[in-house]
Structure formats: structure tokens, C-alpha cells
Amino acid sequence: MPPTHRITSRADGPSGRADGGPSGRARRRPLRIALATGIALTAAVVATGPAGTATAADPEPDAARTEHVEYFTGPGGHPRHTEVPASPALSAKERAEIKGDGDVVPIVEAGPTDAKLDVVFIGDGYTASQQEDFHADVRAKWAKVSAVEPYASYKGLFNVWAVDAVSRQSGVSGDPTSGTVKDTALGSAFFCDGIERLLCVDTNKVESYAKKAADPDLVIVLANSTKYGGAGYNDITSPSGYDGIATASSDNAQSDQVVVHETGHSLGKLADEYWYDEYGTYQGAEPWETNISKLRADQLTAQKKKWYRWIGRTSPDGGKVGAYEGGGYYPRGLYRPTTDSIMRTLGREFNLPGREAMIAGFHRHASVVTAVTPTDRTVRRDTKVRVQVADGIRLRWSVDGREVRHADGDTTVTPRALGVPSDGRTHHLSVRATDPTNAVLDPALRTLLSDSLTWRVRR
């Protein structure tokens, strides 16, 4: 079967809720994906045959391939589902143009790419003379996204990069009207499939630009526009390794909420917490997502399942954590942790189970501690050994397995000061880093919140 990618879009105003019915188009088909330490991993994409051919592995021609779409219709509106044609394969000319484009500009450099969660912004609708404007827009958008918890408490885990995609024309198609057509690098367009607030993009072009960054983990397309809209492609397993694509307009004050919600899917592996009345009662298996369940609160507690550890606690999105019927698109038979988190309504907070899932997602990509002084070479007793950690991380140093308490919390030490003897033998200097956050209760997830580094020391 050819690959299909779901697009999840938040394209109304900042307070758009999610409890209406489908649009009469194809409904979104939830995937069931394997769990890893309590958080699901992304699904693999099946390879397809040559364009336009139908094989046993690819029974449909390219023209039949679609991407699943979820979107909001307007301020105060409810989500609707549809499918749009999948992005076509790139031509030789397009590949050549992309190869000669795409400078990568650092916006936030917190540490090595293999130890941090690397967010890659790609601009669309910015001409060659507007690339500095794009960089400014990235800084502004990231400032708003990273002000939302749990991003705000974990800013030190993120690198942010801007990939310059030079467009021939400024702005994007569909802004301000459906008849507006712009020649842009990524083909961003409102009125996707005739839906005004749905901001689609050529995912093949996005992939080609994204892989210019060293290690993309999250990709955000920033369209040069003031129009409210966006989308999220979260069922993609990219060859470059990132978890999904979000699209948002650059100069709309509320479009950052689109990005935040979509990262709930891509990083947190969270389900949507709204429903459609005509879906009726859920009859399927227990969902893999950590924030919806067939079990009521008492059953979650008795069986020690999913978010049972949080039940009864006051959640930042309002009210107590429990099991509220309605979620995962079904009004009955599925339960969500709180009445109204950001996975149901834009502008809200992540609930407590959602924050836990997001922090776990951060740490799937970013280490708790980063070595500034390389660990793959021997250091001397007087060498300054440096590490880098996010705010609030606990550090404990040891020499040959013996803890040196007076160095607790230090990010720079010297082996001599920690008592490494000058006896000509090789000794081992180690640091253990732990995130003590009370926002993670699941012991399986807490294993992601601790790590250690070791250096060999000789005179």
C-alpha cells in the first residue's frame, strides 16, 4: 500500500475548540503504533514503486495517493477531516534548484546536535533579500513556543536552526484570496483542498531542505504571511529522522499555538482529546496513545494503567486529573485525563500527563548532560573538565566510583581538585546527571532523565 501521511491542522482562531462533527469528507484513520517506555514511536513508511506504476507492494498509482488532513474552519470552529493529494516526486530540475539553495543559519546553539533536540525552521515565501526577515521571524516564533510549558523549563535542551529556502516571490499562495498564486520554494498554500485555513506544503521539498541540517528532530515550515492557519504532518517517518512537520504563518500572533499543539503529536505522541458526535461509541482495542483510554478513573487506578499516577491532582489546564468521557474522536467509550487541554483546545496548557509525555519526548532526542570536554580522550589532572546541563539538573561527581560531594552541582571541575592522585596510573572521573522534575512520575520514563559521562585521567 502506498504511504499516506496524516496532516493535523489548527486553522481557526487561538481558542478554537474541538467537539464538532466531520465535514462529510474522509475521516482521519488513527494508527496503532508500538510503544517504547510508555511513549509510542513513529510508524514506518512503506517504500513505493516507480511513479505511476502499480505493483503488488504499491497497488495504487501516484494519483491515488493521499495525505490525511485535520483542520479548523475558523474562529470558534471545530475540526474537520479531509484528504489531499500527496506531494509529487521531485523533478530533476527541482532537485538541482534545491541542491544549490538552503544555507543553514544557527538561531540557538545549546550544544552538539547529537546531544540536543534540533528544531529546524524552513522559510517559504521569503525572497533572497528577505532572509534576514525570516531569521527574525524564527526568533520571534521560537520565543513564543518556548514560553509554553514544558518547553519553558527545558530551553537548554534545544538547538534551533533556520534553513534559507529562497522563493522567487514574496508571500504564499492563498493569501489573501484563493486566487492568489505565488512561486515559492516549498509550495505553501492556504485554501488547500479548498479549505481556507489549511496551510499545505510540498513534503518532498521540505524533506530535501530539512536534511541540509545536521540532525533535524522537529521541522517547522514558516510561511511568510499574516494569515492565520497551519497544519501538522505527524505520521511521517522521515529519512532524515525527524518526527514530523508543522506549518504555520510567520506573522500571525496566534499561529504559534498551531506549532505547540502539533508537537504534542510529534514529540509527545499524544492523541487529540476531542470527539465527533456521530462517531458513537468506541469499540476497538485499547489505544496506544498515553492520553486516551477505554478505562474509567477507578479502572485506571486498579489496573495501574496510563495516567493513573496523576489522578486527583490539580492540572495546569484547569481542574483535576481524572477520566472524562470523550476523546480520540469518539464521544463515548474513550476517556481523556482532563476536561480541556491544548490537545483539545488551542490556547490551553498541556495537562499533567501531557507534560510528562512531552518531557519524555524531549529526552528521546536530547541528553540530560552534554560533554563540553570530549570523553574520547585522556585528560590531565589539571585539565578543566566541563559539562553542560539544562536548568535544574543535579550533578554528582565521582573519582574511581567514589563520590566527591563538595563538587555536587559544579559544571566545571579539575581532576586534581577532586582528588585524582598523581601516581601515574589511569583513573576515572565521572559525572552523573539527573533531572529531578516532579512532572514525570512513570519510573520507565524517568530512566530517560538520568545519564552519566566518564573521562580517563592520567598524570
Residue identified by cell 527541482 is 94
HSE, CB side, 13 Å, CA atoms: give it for residue 56.
Answer: 0
Residue identified by cell 504563518 is 249
Report how far residue 123's alpha carbon sits from residue 194's, in angstroms, rounded to the nearest whole number.
23
Q: Is 195 helix (H, G, I), strand (E, B) or coil?
A: strand
Give 320's contacts (C-beta < 8 A, 6+ positions apart). 312, 313, 314, 338
Domain ranges of the chain: 5-266, 279-346, 369-457
Q: Are 282 and 326 in contact (CB under 8 A)?
A: no
Residue 33 CB coordination number (10 Å)? 15
Beta partners for residue 85, in sequence order:
66
Q: What is the CATH number of domain 369-457?
A: 2.60.40
Residue identified by cell 576515572 is 428
Q: Are 16 and 214 in contact (CB under 8 A)?
A: no
Q: Are 130 and 145 in contact (CB under 8 A)?
A: no
Q: What is the CA radius of gyration of the chain?
A: 24
What is the CA 306 to chain-centroid distance, rounded? 21
Q: The domain at 5-266 falls in which architecture? A: 3-Layer(aba) Sandwich (3.40)
Residue 112 CB coordination number (10 Å)? 16
pTM of the predicted model, to two decimals? 0.83
Report how far residue 235's alpha carbon sits from residue 8's, in angstroms, rounded to the nearest whole number.
10
φ, ψ for residue 70 (rounded to 5)? -125, 135
Q: What is the pLDDT along the chain (459 residues), one digit of tens a residue?
A: 333 444 444 444 433 333 333 333 333 333 322 223 333 322 222 222 323 333 333 444 444 577 776 666 554 445 566 777 888 899 999 999 999 999 999 999 998 998 999 999 999 999 999 999 999 999 999 999 999 999 999 999 999 999 999 999 999 999 999 999 999 999 999 999 888 989 999 999 999 999 999 889 999 999 999 998 888 876 666 677 776 788 999 998 888 888 898 899 889 999 999 898 999 999 999 999 999 999 999 999 999 999 999 999 999 999 999 999 999 999 999 999 999 999 998 889 999 999 999 999 999 999 999 999 999 999 999 999 999 998 889 999 999 999 999 999 999 999 999 999 999 899 999 999 999 999 999 999 999 899 999 999 997
Q: Which residues of 36-48 are buried (b: 16+ CB within 10 A; e: fewer)?
A: ebbbbebbeeeeb
Q: Is 330 helix (H, G, I), strand (E, B) or coil?
A: strand
Copy the grid coordinates of residue 275.
470527539
